[in-house]
Amino acid sequence: MEGDDETSGPMIDEIYANGGDDGNRNHRPIISGDQLDIEAYAGLYSGRTKIMRLLFIADHCEKNSTMQLEALRMAYDEIKKGENTQLFREVVQKIDGRLGPDYGMDVAWCETVDRRAEQRKEKLENELNAYRTNLIKESIRMGYNDFGDFYYAHGQLGDAFKSYVRTRDYCTTSKHIIHMCMSAILVSIEMGQFTHVTSYVSKAEQTPEALDQITVAKLRCAAGLANLEAKKYKLAARKFLETGPELGSHYNEVIAPQDVATYGGLCALATFDRAELKACTPLYSYDDSKVIDNLNFRNFLELVPEVRELINDFYSSHYASCLEYLGNLKTNLLLDIHLNDHVETLYDQIRHKALIQYTHPFVSVDLRMMANAFKTTVAGLEKELEALITDNQIQARIDSHNKILYARHADQRNATFQRVLETGREFDRDVRSMLLRSNLIKHDYNLRASRKL
């Protein structure tokens, strides 16, 4: 490779070392390639999202029957702690007798729960009618809220959303509005209606006097999920990075702190430039002035060391190590209910950014050396580079015979001459304007504003 200046030498050595001859570099162990520990994973969540995540894993690991049955077993046990008989029947159908008689259809339990639900619903209706008759706003609000909780517990999400939203007309304080918004956001996330999520996050943020730090962190996470679902990865990254450490496990009915690190880290890698990446992620520097750039996000990244290391490797141009971390994480990321649809897109964007960043400092790059660094074949690398060149993301041309990429850097000499000529033309125009003005003044050839009578 040929560098643009004398300082390129050390960088070439570093990238070459990262390619294939890693004998001198102490690799950190890759620990993310293990099979997902479903029990530990499910322990991060509570409520309905715990069940839905387990069912999602079961639906997406059909080739691994052991993992699938483990997920279904845990979902079965979790559902029986609640009152959602419809979801229970669906899980029993998916198990299909593969877990033995203890995990079969429990007709008696379903009938008991349904009968109790009918009685509870009738009681709630009578109470709400009484509240309406007495026109007590707070009681009516609580009545609709109780109905929302009832429908949510029984899996009737549409009715739960309507009940929660109806409480808005009876809210008398800012805290009531925040409670209504948070309930609507929770149900909307479960339904996959992320436009509602964005709307109610905005409504909640319009009453800042009632927001505590934990609620603010929850709203950031909800907004991040909405932007992630809309494929607005840069906005999603910003929202997750703005999430404060106060979140803790207070929102595990929706998201875990580990998810904040994973979602935010991957979205940032895919969309941020180097300056933004440095400003928003904890990157260790040898500069005495800074050690960490984002203290808040560091707390989340410490929970997922693999994501922390791949971000550091990407920023430090250790692309082979970064891509290795990504490769080991991919299987488990595909089992994530929110990230599954976006893994391929995010991975492609991260890889393209790495390719662009790798070629940027050099006039010429040996494709064999570059292919070694990215753990791919020369032919495969050529196709990737061709696509980036066609898309105008890399200014270069490929010598397929000699397997060399030549950068098309701007002609600095010509650009300098053009700037000088443009400056000269501007100076000439300004001088002519000044001379014209002075001559007009000299010959008293100027229009005076007529005085208004």
The model's pLDDT over 174-201, given as tens digits with 9 standing for 90+, comes to 999 999 999 999 999 999 999 999 999 9
Cα 131 from Cα 36, distance rounded (Å): 50
Answer positive or negative: Cα dihedral of 366, 396, 362, 383: negative
pLDDT at residue 384 tops 90 = no
Q: Does the structure show a pLDDT above 50 at 300?
A: yes
The CATH code for residues 212-281+288-361 is 1.25.40.570
- Contact criterion met (CB below 8 Å) for 319 and 17: no
State how far the Cα of 430 lies from the Cα of 2, in Å rounded to an integer: 44
Model pLDDT for residues 391-406, shown as the tens digit of each residue = 787 878 888 888 888 8
CA proximity to 49, closest of 28, 14, 79: 79
The reported pLDDT for the residue numbered 11 is 40
pLDDT band at 409 (very low <50, low <70, confident <90, very high): low
Report the pLDDT value the prediction gives residue 397, as an integer from 0 to 100.
82
* pLDDT recorded at residue 56: 94
SS3 content of the chain, % helix, strand, coil (to 5): 70, 5, 30
Question: What is the residue extent of each domain of the chain?
Answer: 212-281+288-361, 362-427
What pLDDT score does 8 carry? 42
Lay out the sheet containing 396-399: strands in order across: 2-3, 362-366, 404-407, 396-399
Instruction: Count the neighbouring beta carbons within 10 Å of the beta carbon of residue 158.
Output: 11
What integer pLDDT is reported at residue 279 of this predicted model? 64
Q: Is the pLDDT of residue 292 over 50?
A: no
The confidence band for 376, taking pLDDT boundaries of 50, 70 and 90, is confident
- Provide the pLDDT confidence category of residue 2 given band limits of 50, 70 and 90: very low
Q: How confident is the prediction for the chain on average, in pLDDT?
A: 83
- What's the confidence (pLDDT) of residue 44? 92
> Residue 237 in contact with residue 271, Cβ under 8 Å?
yes
Range with the poorest average pLDDT among 107-111, 148-152, 289-293, 357-361: 289-293
Q: What is the pLDDT of residue 27?
A: 40
pLDDT at 442: 83
- All residues at 6 or more sequence positions from 449 whose CB lies less than 8 Å from its CB, including other chains: none
Provide the pLDDT confidence category of residue 12 given band limits of 50, 70 and 90: very low
C-alpha count within 13 angstroms, C-beta hemisphere, residue 329: 26
Mean pLDDT of the region 202-207 = 91
Looking at residue 14, its pLDDT comes to 39
* pLDDT band at residue 293 using 50, 70 and 90 as cut-offs: low
* Crossing angle of helices 305-315 and 319-333, rounded to 10°: 150
Predicted confidence band at 24 (pLDDT cuts at 50, 70, 90)?
Answer: very low
Express as a percent the part of the chain with pLDDT over 70. Answer: 86
Question: Has residue 285 got a pLDDT over 70?
Answer: no
Q: Provide the 10 A C-beta neighbour count for residue 322.
A: 24
Pairwise CA distance, residues 424 & 417, whole Å: 11
Say if residue 83's pLDDT is above 50: yes
One-letter amino acid of 435: L
CATH number assigned to the domain covering 362-427 = 1.10.10.10
Say if residue 337's pLDDT is above 60. yes
- In this predicted structure, the answer to whether residue 32 has a pLDDT above a threshold of 70 is no
CB 280 within 8 A of CB 293: yes
Reported as a single tens digit per residue, the pLDDT across 35-82 is 788 999 999 999 899 999 999 999 998 788 889 999 999 999 999 999
**pLDDT tens profile 133-145:** 888 888 999 999 9
The count of other CB atoms within 10 Å of the CB of residue 370 is 25
Q: Enumerate residues 6+ apart whose C-beta is below 8 A from 94.
A: 55, 58, 72
> How large is the average pLDDT for residues 225-240?
93
Residue scoring higher pLDDT (112 or 9): 112
Q: Judging by DSSP bridges, how do beta strands 2-3 and 362-366 pair with one another?
A: antiparallel
Question: Can you give the pTM of this predicted structure?
Answer: 0.78
